[in-house]
Structure 1
């Protein structure tokens, strides 16, 4: 730091200053390092604890759902034709279902035009109806008076009405093809073209269904027959007729304008996908979802065990032979002990008002020596099968186990709760230690500067005294009559 040192005295000033500063710094530095290590370890452990508790709370939120416990299963014997889902209000039972017709929407094709998609039409209007009700009236002008122009305009303006258009070109020419999203008997598409301008193809040629030909308009029967034949080839066509779904449930007729039916059987949503064979109905079975309930209970046990394993790892002291014990970040921590105690007390307390299910032991769930839970699958299956609603009542609702455990955990994980307060305090300690470290470094820098100045001044004085001594010795040697002893 002070450049060349020790010239006059021969002393290694750098080593002396470094050793002196280190000796002065060591006690405070050790104190800061130990406290920072301890604080950081606790801060990390608290973060892991909060994460584990929050994850358990998420599992409790899913557990405290009557619909997930009481939901029924709906199984179809012919999933090709029908699938179903059941809500908790569904009544267990079996139903014979025969599907004779699926619901479908209308699809039509206009007359064919040899000019392709660029065929030009008169200006005017094109009115489109579905089931006799207005769906879209298109203003046809110079910007859209071609098949392609009308197709694009219909697709833009007809979205809200469920109308879409495309162009299909067959051996007779190009056709404007319209599709409706509305299903049900009588909801067929009709189209009426009205020309207000002249000079191009008449918009009336797009009208569907076209007007029937009148034999009186033709001179001969042959001319009429030829016109009918041409209209059959080039005229508009029905590609698909709108119709309703038709089925029977236990012999009772059901008609629906959709293939998804929610009102035929209480609490059951039916989705039709194919027609069944005549006189061969499928079987729909509605039952309690015991498998789902067992899965919910097992998920609760798994989440609890994961949290307890995390807490155990954060609070244990591991003894190592011929070495100091390894202490976890929250060993002996009162917060962790209180949290575990409150949870365990809630688990073992009997719950009133739930019939034969008043404790986890009634479900085959017991506590192991390490504090985790284990499940007797056979006993759980029996409990769920014999008291389906009782199991749901034990876990769910305002007084259920899930809600009570959540209440116990909230003071720890809520904003401003116990864990957040402790985390804030530890972060403040880290900040304070950083300040103490900065102050210590400044003091040691000042001490180092002062020591270098003092030792350099001493070294300069020694050098000066040495020079003076050498000068005096030289002068004494030069005095006359001085006899030197060899």
Structure 2
């Protein structure tokens, strides 16, 4: 009787009652965990690939890389994007664009405090109004200007970050404070004009103004021509297609700035290699998840899954396709028997010398390879209707089903345990009574 334990027996028998269900749930859980892990791996691989190819195809990035070199330093900084054509350009810079700056030295806090009415400030055909009533100092006046945007600066499509048209500041020299107004834009047309006709008192407080820096246009000539061209900005983005020129200095007489634009073969190959590496990594991940397995290899979580296997076929078909009237072999890109890509540098270099724009057309065209691949990925990664979203929902339902079965199994176990415990406890009590009775006779 000392070894008879109702609780241990109840636990053992209750465990036998649920062993089949427990085994089934364990198997389902293991499969679900494998599917979830595989789905996360696939989602991560697809997302990484999409990020990589988008990084090669944006308003500021392209597979084709051009370089711009200059014959001298200190005159300009130059960059060339994928649309730039090979060429040499000669530029004579005679004047840099400057922004107008005006000072008001005799203006003080008392003058601002006593002024009333409306001050109108004009700049390049636009204006703002400053209510002078309630302003108590130069600092208040400067803040009122800085908080008021000109119409073009308020337009989200044309506004420049940190620019509202005019910026007012205070300058302190030898203990004396002066108000400074700066045009946020360079160029002769940005001339700051104050209209005091709307002020009801002290209209003359702004009369003593000085132009510290005149607003000027950049002036330059091209080649040997004497015709002068003007630009309100030192940044010349539309002078040569695909080339941005930011003027920083003046050229000497008969010593023009020579800008040479050419294809950067090394950087272009690096960009293509980035694409190849990203594709090979994705393909390796998908292949591992869909492999059928063998006696020496494990079976992938998505083995035999037609929709996942179709991803590799779809991407492979896109790679073999024609974009911009070109195919990837034109640039020395080939695939081995396993679908892994590699590049022949000599073939690529030859094509870049013959017609570099074909690289941009193939990869970055409006109907190019990268956009086509990105569109293809959307059917898998779309957060509203993507295949992976549907798969995740299925796995979530399976997890809910397992949780429900587990809850029922636990309920069944508790019921069996309590029943067995009651029975064995009664048996133990009965045996104790019988033992006590027998001891009376002995």
**TM-score for both structures, normalised by structure 1:** 0.72
The counterpart of 1:383, out of the listed 347, 351, 368, is 351
Which digits, 9 at most, give the CA deviation of each residue in 1:140-189, with x for residues without a partner? 55x44765555454445576673343444556955443333353347554
Q: 1:371 to 1:158 in 2, by over 3 A?
A: closer
Q: How well do the aligned residues superpose, as a CA RMSD in angstroms? A: 3.9
Q: 1:14 to 1:286 in 2, by over 3 A?
A: same
Q: Distance in 1 between matches of 2:200 and 2:321?
A: 84
Q: 1:314 to 1:261 in 2, by over 3 A?
A: same
Q: Distance in 1 between matches of 2:363 and 2:94?
A: 44
Specify the alignment match of 2:41 in structure 1.
48
Q: Which has the larger radius of gyration?
A: 1
Report how many residues are paired.
424
The counterpart of 2:181, out of the listed 178, 182, 185, is 178
Matched, 1:261 2:236: yes
Q: Report 1:234-383 matches (<5 A).
A: 237-250=210-223, 251=225, 252-288=227-263, 290-291=265-266, 293-315=268-290, 317=293, 326-347=298-319, 349=320, 351=322, 354=325, 357-358=326-327, 360-368=328-336, 370-383=338-351
Which digits, 9 at most, give the CA deviation of each residue in 1:279-308, with x for residues without a partner? 321111233454554333222211111112
Q: Distance in 1 between matches of 2:34 and 2:329?
A: 38
Q: Distance in 2 between matches of 1:65 and 1:140?
A: 47
Q: Distance in 1 between matches of 2:212 and 2:393?
A: 71
The offset of 1:75, in angstroms, is 3.5
Q: Is the 8 A contact 2:331 2:347 kept in 1?
A: yes
Matched, 1:456 2:425: yes
Q: 1:129 to 1:329 in 2, by over 3 A?
A: closer
Q: 1:377 to 1:430 in 2, by over 3 A?
A: same
Q: 1:130 to 1:283 in 2, by over 3 A?
A: farther
Q: Distance in 2 between matches of 1:36 and 1:464?
A: 48
The offset of 1:133, in angstroms, is 6.5
SS of equivalent to 1:183: coil
Which digits, 9 at most, give the CA deviation of each residue in 1:435-455, with x for residues without a partner? 112212211221122222222
Q: Is the 8 A contact 2:323 2:367 kept in 1?
A: no
Q: 1:363 to 1:157 in 2, by over 3 A?
A: closer
Which digits, 9 at most, give the CA deviation of each residue in 1:226-276, with x for residues without a partner? xxxxxxxxxx54322222211112134211222223444445443212222
Specify the alignment match of 1:36 in structure 2.
29
SS of equivalent to 1:279: coil
Structure 2: stretches of 5+ with no match in the other structure? 152-163
Q: 1:175 to 1:34 in 2, by over 3 A?
A: closer
Q: Is the 8 A contact 2:63 2:360 kept in 1?
A: yes
Q: Distance in 2 between matches of 1:128 and 1:107?
A: 17
The counterpart of 1:100, out of the listed 86, 91, 94, is 94
Q: 1:366 to 1:104 in 2, by over 3 A?
A: same
Q: 1:237 to 1:465 in 2, by over 3 A?
A: closer
Q: Is the 8 A contact 1:162 1:182 kept in 2?
A: yes
The offset of 1:37, in angstroms, is 0.6
SS of equivalent to 1:330: coil
